[in-house]
Structure 1
Amino acid sequence: MGASSSIVQKGTSEQREVESLAASTGAMPMLQNSFSKLVNPQTNAIPLQSLQQVFCLNYKKPDCEASNIPDCFPGLLDHLGASIVDLFFITGREGVSWIEFLRGYLKCCGRMPASMALNALLRVFATTFTKAGLPLKLEFESSDDDCKISGSFLATDVLMLLWMCWTMLWDSSTSRCTKGKENLRLPDVNHLILSAVVSCTEVDSGFNLWDCGISALEVELPVGKFLTWDLTTVPSLTDCFTHFVNVRLQNSVSSEVKSELSSSSLGKIPPREVCNIHLLTHGRAWAISLSLKGTISAEILKPHLPSDSDETLENLLYRSSFHGRGLNRFWSNIEGYHGPLLFLVSAAAGDVHEDRKDKNFVYGHLHPTGRAYEPYPKPVGIAFGGTIGNERIYIHEDFARVTIRHHAVDKLTNLVPFSHLRW
């Protein structure tokens, strides 16, 4: 059955306007095919249950990199599909009509300001929480897309929101794969949650924020401050939802939705072991990708999502455990590369009383705020490695130059204008 037999060709001006908006997203062919596949020919509408099934998730025993998974989280995911349909798709007596199907899609994935997209995501989250019977201190003033939101989040609420978004992203990748089976693997997002807590609340100075469990954080994050944190720190978070909706509707066109999950080379390692083997864990990679847009974001996250390709680390330039330790080995692998570069370093301080030469793992210094006299002023800038005055990488105060020393006797070999660097 073609799309033309299920969709009225000569509609009202209202229908033509909605179709025009949907066409501007570039998704009209997919929407026509999806509607034609799901529609009941007798009523010319999509049955409610069929549309809910399109967005249904079913992950009963997910794994996690570090944190324990709350017992309520798998149950929360069970209500996601119904929440999306109830919020965005107006259902008539016969089901969801063509025009309401398009309207629902535009509310989820249409062109809109970032604040409205975040509003939509939080509506899905709050509605899913309510359907799961979980408490949440969020209130929406009206049903408008840009209405004011009041209330607050707990740290555990932020955890659930981030994991729900990751699950939608993970599912969008697994549904495109054809080989093997792999369970949902949740990232360690404690660092993101702590970032939100620090940005949105005033924590007692005597409280060790970095040495506590998320479940022990009983502070409330005002929703206004949380929205600001989200839009500035993780602006790509809403993309998880829009991508999920697009992929699920695209998959509904196929007669058999690909339900088998993939087995990537990284996924073969248990999630807690991944934390210990790779510096770029699921959680760290996702946090970086959420702050970026475009192909760079996708490249960083690529090795951490299911894929049919076994070459998940094909863009890795250097790893000390594989290529060998030392600056010579490092430079021989990255020299000549002119693309964006992500540099991850892990270090641990040794005995503070040990007389080592290279004490300057990561160094940063500014001019003192007062006018105190400094007989031996320290260099002002940011540096990595070496010792003060003989840093391996030194970014000068004005960010106009970067001095790089990589010879055994600290011979100055490169003086690179900062504006020409690609990170």
Structure 2
Amino acid sequence: MCWVMAWSGLAPRVSGGEEGGKGEPVLLPDVSHLVLSALVSAGAVADDEGVWGWEVSGAGKGVSVQEFTSWVISTVPGLGNCLSRYVQDRFRSSEVDPAKESSVSTGNTTFDTSDAYLLTRGRAWSISLSVRNTLSEKFLSASVIGMDTEDLLYRSSLHGKGLSRFWSCVEGYKGPALILLSAFSNSGSENVDAGRKWGIGVLTEDGFENKDTFYGSSGFLCATYPIFRMLLPSGKEKNIMYCHLHTQLKTYEATPKPLGLAFGGSIGNERIFIDEDFSKVTVRHHAVDKTYQNGSLIPNQIDLAAFGNWEDSPEKMMMDMVSDPNKARREER
């Protein structure tokens, strides 16, 4: 219902480019990742391996009003403005002469409403509800009429995998960018589980630079599938993004910096790191990162706060191993 109210305010300004102003029928976006996010936030569903393949329609779960309100404020604050925005749009539309009202024609622009891209209409709406800047309108439009394919800078299946292919597409671009990726977890082994597919994203307001240090002014991390979460900047550090690749002019480096894309954390201990070949992505726990807010980006990512005391925590075990690597460890299976 909230999406319909948001769409109805946008509809008068968008025409399909066909005779009589009639375009393609508007399809409801898939918002199962939002529903699951609210249920996990309220504790109705555990944030573990069970969320993969979890069916929202047949679960029979619910949340209280207080729990739902808390989730809206922390995750999708724009959801609370849908009704007031709808009323304001209705008042404005009643005061404007239809013959003079300006509209945005989509007749000569290529949009894709098939949800074939990682930016589905449901995910675009989720992001529009989470960000509080001018990009919100852009994502709201994408949730209604689909992604404008002219905005696509890089797609691995189209342009080829690897950092060099990526750089050839984005070099010189200085505007905001949304980076979405989809991957499979390998459960600590070499084999991946095709049933454990997840998606994450990074929204930056800066262009890409080939540097061996972190840079950037502002950015957001988000989990897009199977659960939606938006992690805002914490304000403690500014390690927004990192993009480093070899150039034709090579220089000697006593301590070579990693080649790839990274977001948050620090060099060698990044929150998100995509290797040079784009064949592996590493997502570390938020304990290594002071740039973005705490929160898991993939299901079943262990939260250190869940451990009862310091003696049981992974941090304590790591510190012990550093101080005395030869000390025997008892492992319970």
Q: TM-score, normalised by structure 2?
A: 0.51
Q: Between 207-216 and 333-342, report the one with greater CA deviation.
A: 207-216
- Report the Cα distance in structure 1 between the residues aligned to 2:170 and 2:120, rounded to whole angstroms: 22
Please state which structure has a larger fraction of its residues in strand.
Answer: 2
C-alpha distance 295-401 of structure 1, shift in aligned 2 (>3 A):
farther
What residue in structure 2 maps to residue 200 of structure 1? 42
Matches within 5 A, 1:321-340: 321-340=157-176
In structure 2, what residue type is equivalent to 1:251? Answer: S
Give SS of 1:168's match: helix
1:182 to 11, 24, 41: 24
1:345 to 181, 184, 189: 181
What residue in structure 1 maps to residue 89 of structure 2? 247
Give SS of 1:297's match: helix
Quote how far apart the aligned CAs of 1:201 are: 2.7
Quote how far apart the aligned CAs of 1:198 are: 0.7
What residue in structure 2 maps to residue 284 of structure 1? 123
Quote how far apart the aligned CAs of 1:401 are: 8.8
What residue in structure 2 maps to residue 317 of structure 1? 153
Quote how far apart the aligned CAs of 1:331 are: 0.7
- Cα deviation, 1:254-309, whole Å, max 9, x if unaligned, reads 45588x9976689975x5xx23x2110001111112110121222233333349xx
- Cα deviation, 1:24-72, whole Å, max 9, x if unaligned, reads xxxxxxxxxxxxxxxxxxxxxxxxxxxxxxxxxxxxxxxxxxxxxxxxx
In structure 1, what residue type is equivalent to 2:40? Answer: V
- Cα deviation, 1:172-194, whole Å, max 9, x if unaligned, reads 12112343323232111000000
What residue in structure 2 maps to residue 218 of structure 1? 60
C-alpha distance 268-395 of structure 1, shift in aligned 2 (>3 A):
closer
What residue in structure 1 maps to residue 75 of structure 2? 233
What residue in structure 2 maps to residue 393 of structure 1? 261
- Report the Cα distance in structure 1 between the residues aligned to 2:110 and 2:149, rounded to whole angstroms: 12
What residue in structure 2 maps to residue 22 of structure 1? none
Quote how far apart the aligned CAs of 1:326 are: 2.8
1:200 and 1:225 in contact (8 A); partners too = yes
- Cα deviation, 1:50-106, whole Å, max 9, x if unaligned, reads xxxxxxxxxxxxxxxxxxxxxxxxxxxxxxxxxxxxxxxxxxxxxxxxxxxxxxxxx
- Report the Cα distance in structure 1 between the residues aligned to 2:53 and 2:95, rounded to whole angstroms: 49
Q: TM-score, normalised by structure 1?
A: 0.41
1:300 to 121, 126, 139: 139
How many residue pairs align between the two structures? 213
Q: Between 282-291 and 233-242, report the one with greater CA deviation.
A: 233-242
2:110 and 2:150 in contact (8 A); partners too = no
In structure 2, what residue type is equivalent to 1:330? Answer: F
Quote how far apart the aligned CAs of 1:321 are: 3.6
2:123 and 2:143 in contact (8 A); partners too = no
Structure 1 residue runs of 5 or longer lacking an equivalent are: 1-163, 356-360, 363-381, 409-417
Is 1:167 aligned to residue 35 of structure 2? no
- Report the Cα distance in structure 2 between the residues aligned to 1:319 and 1:332, rounded to whole angstroms: 12
- Report the Cα distance in structure 1 between the residues aligned to 2:145 and 2:59, rounded to whole angstroms: 32
Please state which structure has a larger fraction of its residues in helix.
Answer: 1
- Report the Cα distance in structure 1 between the residues aligned to 2:176 and 2:11, rounded to whole angstroms: 27
1:234 and 1:291 in contact (8 A); partners too = yes
Q: Between 316-325 and 249-258, report the one with greater CA deviation.
A: 249-258
Quote how far apart the aligned CAs of 1:237 are: 1.1
2:40 and 2:46 in contact (8 A); partners too = no
Q: CA RMSD in A?
A: 4.6
C-alpha distance 190-246 of structure 1, shift in aligned 2 (>3 A):
same
- Cα deviation, 1:175-226, whole Å, max 9, x if unaligned, reads 1234332323211100000010011134368993432322222223111111
Matches within 5 A, 1:10-409: 164-178=1-15, 179-203=21-45, 208-254=50-96, 256=98, 274-275=114-115, 277-306=116-145, 312-348=148-184, 392-394=260-262, 397-398=265-266, 406=276
- Cα deviation, 1:221-244, whole Å, max 9, x if unaligned, reads 111111110111000113332332
